[in-house]
Amino acid sequence: MIRVNKSKQELENDIRIRRDSLQTLHQRLKKTSDNFQLWIMGISTLSGSIEVTKLTLGLNDPALDLTSIFMASVTTLIASFMRFKDLPSRMEILVKASSDLTNVLKSIRDAPQISVEMVEAYNECLAVVERSLYPDQRKEFFAIANRGVLSITKSELEFKKKLHTINEKHALKTTDIEAGKSNEIVTYGASAEDDDDDQSIQ
């Protein structure tokens, strides 16, 4: 006998919020990583352009040398900061954890009722989230994911309501024959006159 204080729908919503919180954090980290990469690319390109300009024009201005050194230092500093933050590894952990939760979420949706395996998978999801997020991150991103799920659910309900209204508006009316309110006799196949004509021909 399995005793769970949550229904199947509540388990699904709970895991969905946790999965979305992981994806939200991953999206934020990816945006940060992409911004750093763009800065490195931009500074490196600008530094290379300065060096090419110096060689082409034969310039020996010490200010240009200092500018190149400064840009190279900034690039190294940004790259070191990215390694310190360990963004690629953190994003990889979040992707794997999000994938695990998505698989469990699918199994819950496909299951007809709560089972032992489902409860064990749910508990494992809780552990995965706790390993992937710090307490302050769980508080922040759970709130963001919860608002997102509520917004999506509200949009789905509004869509279903509008779809139901459209179906009612454009639904074909039931004919009297289909409703059984007509005295007309509907026959299928050849008529009696056709049968007489066939006999006369023979």
Instruction: Tell me, yes or no, whether 85 lies in a domain.
Output: yes
Instruction: Tell me, yes or no, whether 2 lies in a domain.
Output: no
Instruction: Tell me, yes or no, whether 1 lies in a domain.
Output: no
Instruction: Tell me, yes or no, whether 89 lies in a domain.
Output: yes
Instruction: Tell me, yes or no, whether 160 lies in a domain.
Output: yes
Q: What domain range is 73 assigned to?
A: 8-201
On whether the CB atoms of residues 11 and 101 are closer than 8 A, the answer is no
As for how many domains the chain has, the answer is 1
Instruction: Tell me, yes or no, whether 103 lies in a domain.
Output: yes
Its pTM stands at 0.68
Measured between alpha carbons, how far is 23 from 132 in angstroms, rounded to an integer? 11
User: The tokens of 44 are what?
Assistant: 């490196």
112-167 pLDDT, tens digit each: 888 888 888 888 888 888 888 888 888 888 888 888 877 777 887 888 888 778 77
Instruction: Tell me, yes or no, whether 3 lies in a domain.
Output: no
